[in-house]
Amino acid sequence: MFPESLLADRTKAIEISGIRKIFELGKSLKDPVNLSIGQPHFDVPESIKAAAKNAIDAGHNGYVITQGIPQLREKLVADARTRFPGQERDVVVTSGTSGGLLLALLAVVNPGDEVITPDPYFVAYPNMIALAGGKMVAVDSYPKFGVDPDKVKAAITPRTKAIMISTPSNPTGAVVDAEAQKAIVKLAEERGILVISDEIYRAFQYDGPASSPASFGENVLVIEGFGKTYGMTGWRLGWAHGPKRLMQEIAKMQQFTFVCAPSMVQWAGVAATDFEVSGIVADYKRKRDLLADGLRGHYEFEVPGGAFYLFPKSPWGTGTEFTTEAIKHNMLVIPGGVFSSRDTHFRISYAAPDETLHRGIEVLKRMAKRG
């Protein structure tokens, strides 16, 4: 038997994702109504697939420079400087958005430092922060899931190193409004704190133009990705952009960990930047409305402004009890306690075919009546 004494203490601070547990349960179900998966249900567009295949055939299969191939970096730098005029933002291409987030935390968080983030939060945040030796400080955002700058301010201590927000959010789909973003950036500047903005769902905003905290200050690190926008989740391609000095350290961290993002996938990323996603986004907005209209009057929820999740309150019991019962109805959703200190809600992913959404709505309506 492997001795527990050989395991590092940091492993004890990390648990297997509750989402993965649901995935494992799903394998035992026959034709489940699967509303649990946090990835697009569409395939990678053909032009992007072709670019990856062409890169492989052309021999682009070896290591590339840590910061990313020039053809992709140049496009991403130009995009960042167009969106944030007057800022000299630098870019590092990363192994997925998660890779970028982890490198950012390793670059700025010392043991014992605190990172503030709204609750609910993406499931990986507390574990990534723990890996960096830090402590996550959660700021309550219930019931409407807006980020209150006053609550953030009250949570700041001498050990606060960063404020990490996600807009649009996983699991709630909530969009942090521009005024709150501006207030948080101003607060961070006053206190000498870094703002980390996770914008992997930036393309999926339905009720107005996208806004980023980076619009309100240079000392904001933005993490973005190709996975959700283009269906490339398994290809592991993201990017980070921010102040040059910080990006130098993130590149250094990547050099001795991931080395570089997959080379052929970076060439696919070049093609992806030219692919028009407005039709995909419009279809996801329609799915959001289909789901919200189907459940309205049966569940309490905030209509999400982005991403592809709905985060209703359980009509009875805890979120875990509700999702456990859902499995008995051949349906998979995620308990809210996976993303939160509260176990009162559950997450529905509407990244699914319409037929699956209709089936799910009917099951959820039946389950709501139990209370």
CATH topology identical between 4-44+277-368 and 46-272: no
Checking if the pLDDT of 17 tops 90, the result is: no
Q: Which residue has the higher pLDDT, 276 or 23?
A: 276
Checking if the pLDDT of 28 tops 80, the result is: no
Q: Where are the domains of the chain?
A: 4-44+277-368, 46-272
Tell me which residue of 360, 13, 66, 118 sits closest to 240, measured CA to CA. 66
pLDDT at 26: 65
Read off the pLDDT band of 208 (50, 70, 90).
confident
Percent above pLDDT 70 for the chain: 96
Checking if the pLDDT of 25 tops 90, the result is: no
The answer to which of 17-21, 62-66, 263-267 has the lowest mean pLDDT is 17-21
What is the rounded average pLDDT for all residues in the chain?
94
Element spanning 198, H or E: strand 194-198
Multiple choice CATH, 46-272, 3.40.50.1980, 3.30.70.20, 3.30.70.1280, 3.40.640.10: 3.40.640.10
Q: Which residue has the higher pLDDT, 365 or 28?
A: 365
What are the φ and ψ backbone dihedral angles of 201, each rounded to 5 degrees?
Answer: -100, 20
pTM here is 0.94
Top CATH class of 4-44+277-368 equals: alpha beta
The answer to which of 21-35, 129-143, 300-314 has the lowest mean pLDDT is 21-35
* pLDDT tens by residue, 106-123: 999 999 999 999 999 999
pLDDT at 22: 67
End-to-end CA distance of the chain: 47
* pLDDT tens by residue, 319-344: 999 999 999 999 999 999 999 999 99
pLDDT at 13: 78
The CA radius of gyration of the chain, in Å to the nearest whole number, is 21
pLDDT at 29: 77
| Bond before 85 cis per omega within 30 degrees | no
* pLDDT tens by residue, 54-106: 999 999 999 999 999 999 999 999 999 999 999 989 999 999 999 999 999 99
Tell me which residue of 145, 168, 213, 171 sits closest to 305, measured CA to CA. 168
Tell me, letter by letter, the H, E, C secondary structure of 3-40. CHHHCCHHHHCCCCCHHHHHHHHHCCCCCCEECCCCCC
> How far, in Å, are 65, 134, 200, 223, 302 from residue 107 at the CA level?
19, 12, 20, 14, 35
DSSP state of 111: T
pLDDT at 196: 98
